[in-house]
Amino acid sequence: MLISSEQILNMMAMYMLPFVRLSGFLMTLAIIGSRNVPMRFRLLLAVFILIVILPQIPESPTVELFSFQSSVLIAKEAMTGILLGFISRLLLESFVVGAQIIAMQSGLGFASLVDPSNGTSVPALGQFFLMLTTLLFLAFDGHLLMIRLVVESFHSIPIASNFDLSEMLWQVVIWSQWVFAAALLMSLVAVASLLIINLAFGVMTRAAPQINIFAVGFPLTMVSGLLLVWLSLVYFMPHFENHLSRANDLVCQIISLEC
């Protein structure tokens, strides 16, 4: 049995478009898309997922592999996968931003660590919250949920279908305001409490100017910040559940799926 080069190119073109959407998704997916995960692992994972879901997804149209049309379709599918995976990244980063707000207000921002996922220096409290959200994301099977949704997207948004990519991008941009809203909501109690403590220090300084406010106030502010973080951990899981539910609703809205 002879297989011509044209048949090989048609087969590659048939599998290329679903593979590009999965690759873009895994490139920006939380945890899997971090710098700690090797690129070869993400590539093999995309191939493995494609092999598993290939009999279940609609057959992609056959296009000429080396053509302008295929280049446009590849770019469109890659952006679709990147947007779907980027939502999970925004989900985790909202808690890091909230932790950084608390750290800067309480003086805990002086302790910084190198974030292995981004390669930048962040406050240690932000790294602690990132580890918490990562563990909760895995415990709630958030990675499996996102993979299931991207697989469902092949049915609701078939390959090479005429969908508005700019509208999807705009929905993600609008939803990104929840990164700051959720971070502010999470840190609001701690910031308000620290503001009251700083006002009390101001009154003490006016009442007794001989007190060295820097020697007394700074350690007390740090201890108060740690205590407030410990007390606020009780509400961490409900806050994470609500934000995960919002991210799930956004993905369902983007891929036109009822969840």
pLDDT at residue number 111: 64
- For the cut 80, the answer to whether the pLDDT of residue 212 exceeds it is no
pLDDT band at 157 (very low <50, low <70, confident <90, very high): confident
Query: Could you please report the per-residue DSSP string of 121-190?
Result: EEEHHHHHHHHHHHHHHHHTTHHHHHHHHHHHHHHHS-TT----HHHHHHHHHHHTHHHHHHHHHHHHHH
pLDDT at residue number 120: 62
Residue with the two structure tokens 């950084």: 100
Percent of the chain with pLDDT over 70: 85
**Residue range 76-118, pLDDT digits in tens:** 888 888 988 888 888 888 888 888 888 887 777 666 665 555 5
Domain boundaries, the chain: 5-254
**CB neighbours (10 Å) of residue 219?**
11
Task: Please give the model's pTM, rounded to 2 decimal places.
Answer: 0.81
Any residues with CB less than 8 A from the CB of 113 and at least 6 apart, and which?
121, 122, 123, 124, 127
pLDDT at residue number 99: 83
Residues 66, 5: Cα–Cα separation, whole Å: 13
Task: With H, G, I as helix, E, B as strand and everything else as coil, classify residue 211.
Answer: coil
pLDDT band at 213 (very low <50, low <70, confident <90, very high): low
pLDDT at residue number 174: 86
- What is the average per-residue pLDDT within 118-129? 72
